Amino acid sequence: MTSKSSRWLGWSSVVLLSVTAVMGLWVTPPDVVQGDLVRLLYVHPALAWVALYVSFGTAVVAAGLYLWPRTRSEQMDRVSYCAMEISVVFIALTLVTGSIWGRPTWGVWWAWDARLTSTAILGVFEVAYLALRRANDDPDTRARRSGVFVILTAVNVPIIHFSVIWWKTLHQGASVLTSTGSLNVHGSMLWTMLISFVGFTTLFFWFLVRRVALESARGARQHAALDAALEMRRREGVG
């Protein structure tokens, strides 16, 4: 991706998230039940969407493409790694914003709720993934093991998604769309949520593009350093 397109992504996310902030804080009315607390919900579900589906989903697909011999390339491993790294940040933000909302609503910062717990477990898995990557120096070993680990971890996503249906928990069910397809949210509230979803998704892709570029540059520098070292040894041998 060119730096122009990347810049376009960056500015789009800034504009969309600014619009979300203005609409969420000033344009939308307070909720009948939750009052001003509802404003946090213009951010929290969008963060969760990016953490669980967009970011983690990208990591799983890229890992699968790396493990599939026909599509195996260093770039796929890089995309998977970078998406996972970004997902860690978004999961942390999801848990923090959820906790801030939960304290006045449920009376506690943390509840042993199925969705909270399963999301936190996915967060631990993601941190474990980062540790696993750092434990292996060989690029091929690292990529294979990380790829398999990401695929194994993917089973958590449906558990998190359906946790509010499978278990009777504190966490509410579907926020925007009900299981029958009808809308739960309307008017400016709905628009703010949608803009927030698009804004955070755009932000994720901007982060991803920049992070993958950085990782590619690092890889190229390592290759160059290795080539230089080999060349030096070769000259020593000849000399």
Task: Summarize as ranges the residues that interact with other proteins (CB under 8 A).
Answer: 67, 121, 124-125, 127-128, 131-132, 134-138, 140-141, 144-145, 148-149, 151-152, 155, 159
* Nearest-approach distance from CB 59 to other proteins, in angstroms: 16
Residue in 7, 8, 4, 40 with CA at minimum distance from that of residue 189 = 40
**CB 124 to other proteins: min, Å:** 5
Q: Is the Cβ of residue 94 or residue 202 nearer to other proteins in the bound state?
A: 94
The beta strands (E) that lie in the chain are given as: none
230: amino acid identity, one letter? L
In this complex, which beta carbon is closest to other proteins, that of residue 108 or of residue 152?
152
Q: How far is the CB of 72 from other proteins (least distance, A)?
A: 11
Considering beta carbons, is residue 157 or 213 the nearer one to other proteins?
157
Radius of gyration, CA atoms only, the chain: 21
Q: What are the C-alpha distances in Å from 59 to residues 41, 45, 183?
A: 26, 20, 30
Beta partners for 183?
Answer: 177
Q: How far is the CB of 85 from other proteins (least distance, A)?
A: 16
User: Cα(204)–Cα(200) distance, rounded to whole angstroms?
Assistant: 6
Q: How far is the CB of 125 from other proteins (least distance, A)?
A: 5
| Residue pointed to by tokens 């042993």 | 112
| CA distance linking residue 159 with residue 157, whole number of Å | 5
Choose between 155 and 183: whose C-beta lies nearer to other proteins: 155
**Contact 37/125 with Cβ under 8 angstroms?**
no
Residue recorded with tokens 């796929």: 76
Q: Which amino acid, 212?
A: V
Cα distance between residue 79 and residue 100, in whole Å: 31
What's the min distance (Å) between Cβ of 60 and other proteins? 14
Minimum CB distance to other proteins smaller for 138 or for 236: 138
Nearer to other proteins, 34 or 117 (CB): 117
